[in-house]
Amino acid sequence: MAEITNICIGVQARSTSTRFPRKVLEYIGSKRMLDEVIDRCFESSNYINRFTLKRGVMVSIALLIPENDELHELYRKERPNLMIFTGSEDNVLSRYKKLCDKTRADYVVRITSDCPRIEPPLITKCINVAVKNQCDYVSNVDEDTRTAPDGHDCEVISKRLIEYMMEHADKEEKEHVTLMARRNPPDWANVAHIIGYTDQSNQKISVDTPDDLERVRADDSIVKLKIERAHSKSGRRSVHRY
């Protein structure tokens, strides 16, 4: 059997957002925003584990939160099978370093909790590109090359790049996790860009304000209505998500 490449998706979250406190606990339909993000990560990981394990890939999920955040106790009780790691609120990079160390991950995937519309196939694509091409950094968020909407953000970072950034990044870079990977990566880093076929970078579907949340809720209602229409037209097994 091939050697396993260990990948851990780290969902970065906190309840103390300055612009919109406790936004991750707001509901979109019948589900909290944070649960929506976590479940989409699990959907991606389940697909990869089901179809690529024979090629030596295993994916797990963890929640990364600041120390003493109310999310820790809530999610420890409600989702006991979910790994939870706590760390510095400002040095978010250190949370990903802790995740990498504790899970012995070869790659960590950065997903932020303000992206409840992140699409599972996009996460799968980023992971597959990183593993297949032995990349140190794969993302769709680079300021100069981005085509993805704000809210579909996905980044894959190798263990050795995490370790390098922890040693060399300044305070701002550690707070924003991947600034160094995008703007000043080491010469040895193998970097890849995920670029779509249309430019949607001017669209915003992340949640930073109450108005953003209402837009996402409206979008969620429209999508669910179209799923029900498809069920009515062609049966409940007719809907396939891409």
- Report residue 157 as tokens: 């970072």
> What distance in Å separates the CA atoms of residue 34 and residue 63, rounded to the nearest whole number?
10
Q: Are 191 and 170 in contact (CB under 8 A)?
A: no
Residue among 198, 202, 105 nearest 149 (CA) = 202
pTM of the model: 0.94
In terms of Cβ atoms closer than 10 Å to its own Cβ (0-12, 13-18, 19+), residue 147 is: middle
> What distance in Å separates the CA atoms of residue 187 and residue 197, rounded to the nearest whole number?
29
Q: Which letter does DSSP use for residue 25 in this model?
A: G
pLDDT digits (tens, 9 = 90+) for 151-196: 999 999 999 999 999 999 999 999 999 999 999 999 999 999 999 9
Terminal alpha carbon distance of the chain = 30
Please state, in angstroms and as integers, the Cα–Cα distance from residue 133 to each residue in 67, 130, 137, 145, 192, following that order: 35, 6, 10, 19, 9
* pLDDT value at residue 55: 62
pLDDT in tens, the chain (242 residues): 457 899 999 999 999 999 999 999 999 999 999 999 999 999 988 877 766 544 678 899 999 999 999 999 999 999 999 999 999 999 999 999 999 999 999 999 999 999 999 999 999 999 999 999 999 999 999 999 999 999 999 999 999 999 999 999 999 999 999 999 999 999 999 999 999 999 999 999 999 999 999 999 999 999 999 999 999 999 999 999 88
> What distance in Å separates the CA atoms of residue 162 and residue 215, rounded to the nearest whole number?
35
Percent residues over pLDDT 70 in the chain: 97
